[in-house]
């Protein structure tokens, strides 16, 4: 199973060109992906997208025949009477068994120096070759560490809750078949990816990966590339948001998937966004037989 995650900056490259087509093409150069997770996807923001398609989820869906595309709008507003949306997207050619959209907390911060915006985690449980996998993609708050830590804690708790539901799933009764109470594809296998706007020495990173927490997740880079520094994924070619390149785009995996991690690669060459895409490859063979 191959998954690519990428903060696309509303599909805007460092050359100023906004092109969903280029994003899809460059992601495909990185891998023949089964799942594509994108952050900062826009609908009807002409000041961002210029002459490119206003409905970026629709444009991306047209570029990926054979994939199902799910868009999670963190922002869904109508200031001029027509919808403007901004959020995260999952495209999968693996069958999607369930879709969830988790709105992340944005606790008020008195005296904040910068505006904030709502954040979402888009979730698709997909049918991997070995069984259901819960794929979660998100984009945490950039300007407020207070909000970002609250969002990381919420993600950890939601993951733990989902694992508890998978462990305690009861049999479905006959009268629940075909109703909203029918059995859900709960699973311990989970991938959490996206632009987290934190680095590996932060409280937010430790919140997700602290092994003393129930159902802690692991940074897949530390599994596949143990001892190697994580390549920068932001500000590598552009210093608009700071002079130093940093790593803030990660792929975390549940404990149940750590033995399936084959490789993790960061594309450090593309300039089709101000972030770099990350690829993870998971083995479809039984970990016991690897």
Q: Across the chain, what does the average pLDDT equal?
A: 94
Residue at 12 is within a domain? yes
Q: What residue has token string 């539901």?
A: 165
Model confidence band, residue 287 (pLDDT cutoffs 50, 70, 90) = low
Paired strand residues for 3: 35, 280
Residue at 173 is within a domain? no
Write out the two tokens for 68: 């199902």
SS3 (DSSP) at 42: strand
Query: Going by C-beta distance under 8 Å and a sequence separation of 6 or more, which residues neighbour residue 124?
Result: 35, 70, 90, 92, 96, 98, 99, 100, 134, 135
DSSP for residue 185: -
Q: In 10 A of CB 237, how many CB atoms? A: 15
SS3 (DSSP) at 132: strand
pTM over 0.85: yes
Paired strand residues for 246: 234
- Compute the half-sphere exposure of residue 196: CA atoms within 13 Å on the CB side of its CA: 29
Residue at 175 is within a domain? no
pLDDT above 50 for 290: no
Question: In this predicted structure, what is the pLDDT of residue 62?
Answer: 98
Query: Going by C-beta distance under 8 Å and a sequence separation of 6 or more, which residues neighbour residue 199?
Result: 205, 246, 247, 248
The mean pLDDT value for 278-289 works out to 82
pLDDT tens-digit readout, 74-84 = 999 998 888 89
pLDDT above 90 for 269: yes
Residue at 176 is within a domain? no
Phi-psi region of 163 (alpha: psi -120 to 50; beta: other; left: phi over 0): alpha
Q: 110 exposed, middle or buried (CB, 10 Å; 0-12, 13-18, 19+)?
A: exposed
Alpha-carbon gap, residue 29 to 27, rounded angstroms: 5
Model confidence band, residue 51 (pLDDT cutoffs 50, 70, 90) = confident
Whether residue 209 contacts residue 217, with contact meaning beta carbons closer than 8 Å, is answered with: yes
Question: In this predicted structure, what is the pLDDT of residue 239?
Answer: 86
Give the structural domain span for 132: 2-108+117-168+183-289
Angle between helices 20-30 and 56-63 (to 10 degrees): 50
Residue at 138 is within a domain? yes
Residue at 205 is within a domain? yes
The mean pLDDT value for 106-112 works out to 85
pLDDT above 70 for 115: yes
Paired strand residues for 86: 42, 75
Q: In 10 A of CB 39, how many CB atoms? A: 28
**CATH number, position 27:** 3.60.10.10
Residue at 177 is within a domain? no
With pLDDT > 90 as the criterion, what percentage of the chain qualifies? 85
Residue at 235 is within a domain? yes
pLDDT above 70 for 134: yes
Model confidence band, residue 11 (pLDDT cutoffs 50, 70, 90) = very high
The mean pLDDT value for 20-24 works out to 98
Model confidence band, residue 288 (pLDDT cutoffs 50, 70, 90) = low
SS (HEC) of 65-120: CCCEEEEEEEEEECCCCCCEEEEEEEEECCCEEEEEEEECCCCCCCCCCCCCCCCE
pLDDT above 70 for 289: no
pLDDT tens-digit readout, 151-195 = 999 999 999 999 999 999 878 898 999 999 998 999 999 999 999
Into how many domains does the chain fold? 1
Write out the two tokens for 178: 């075909």
The mean pLDDT value for 201-226 works out to 96
């Amino acid at each position: 199973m191959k998954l690519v995650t990428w903060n696309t900056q509303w599909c805007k490259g460092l050359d100023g060109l906004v092109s969903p087509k280029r994003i899809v093409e460059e992601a495909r150069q990185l891998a023949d992906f089964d799942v594509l997770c994108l952050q900062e996807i826009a609908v009807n923001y002409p000041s961002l997208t210029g002459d490119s398609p206003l409905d970026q989820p629709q444009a991306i869906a047209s570029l990926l025949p054979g994939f199902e595309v799910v868009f999670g709008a963190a922002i869904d507003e109508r200031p001029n009477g027509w919808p403007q949306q901004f959020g995260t997207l999952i495209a999968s050619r693996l069958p999607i068994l369930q879709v969830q959209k988790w709105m992340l907390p944005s606790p008020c911060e008195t005296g904040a120096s910068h505006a904030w915006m709502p954040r979402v985690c888009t979730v698709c449980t997909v049918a991997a070759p070995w069984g259901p996998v819960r794929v979660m993609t998100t984009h945490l708050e950039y300007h407020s560490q207070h909000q970002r830590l609250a969002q990381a804690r919420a993600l950890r708790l939601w993951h733990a809750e989902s694992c508890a539901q998978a462990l305690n799933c009861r049999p479905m009764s006959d009268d629940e078949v075909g109703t909203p109470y029918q059995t859900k594809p709960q699973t311990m296998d989970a991938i959490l990816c996206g632009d987290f706007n934190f680095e590996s020495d932060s409280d937010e990173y430790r919140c997700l990966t602290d092994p003393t927490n129930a159902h802690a997740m692991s940074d897949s880079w530390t599994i596949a590339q143990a001892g190697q520094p994580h390549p920068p994924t932001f500000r590598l070619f552009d210093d608009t948001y700071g002079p130093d390149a940093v790593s803030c785009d990660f792929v975390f995996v549940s404990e149940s998937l750590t033995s399936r991690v084959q490789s993790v690669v960061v594309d450090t060459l593309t300039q089709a966004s101000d972030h770099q895409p990350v690829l993870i490859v998971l083995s479809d063979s039984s970990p016991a037989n690897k």
